[in-house]
Structure 1
Amino acid sequence: MSALRDLQKSLLICATLLSVAFALGGCSSQLADMTPADAQAHPREPGSYLPVHDLPPDRDQAVISPEQRAKIEAELAAARDRQAVAAKEGK
């Protein structure tokens, strides 16, 4: 009886692994087929960074004033410093 259960368990494991392999094999479609036609091309050089400070031409939102930007940056720096102190105290 024990040998039969071991055989059934082995067959169940093999069937599960086989079905997972088939399921994952079905997910390997070409990504190029799924990209829209108007998508931007990727940069040729692998180490280049995207321009994060360049704004799109059709931006409808108002630009943050320099005073507000300085205030936000100061708040973020203060939060970073508080987290660094809390991390040192926690260790």
Structure 2
Amino acid sequence: MLALKDLQKTRLACCALLIAAAALGGCSSQLADLAPADAQAHPREPGSYLPVHDLPPDRDQAVIPPDQRAKIEAELAAARDRQATAAKDAK
């Protein structure tokens, strides 16, 4: 009798594994099939990276002149102060 129960447990475990394998195998469908019909196609040739060593021209010059930079920083500081006082008033 003991051997029969072990055999039934073994069969049950095997059936559970087969069912789990079949269920998980159904989830492994192709992701390309799930893409919408109007999706943009991927390029066929891999490795089309942007050039790393090509720097834009005028890289050494300042982008924003110092006087405009100071003006922008002052405006940002004033906006920060206004938000801080508004947050204090809201509490």
Q: Same fold (TM over 0.5)?
A: no
Tell me the TM-score range normalised by the shorter chain: 0.3 to 0.5
The alignment's TM-score, normalised by the length of structure 1, stands at: 0.43
The alignment's TM-score, normalised by the length of structure 2, stands at: 0.43
Greater Rg, structure 1 or structure 2?
2
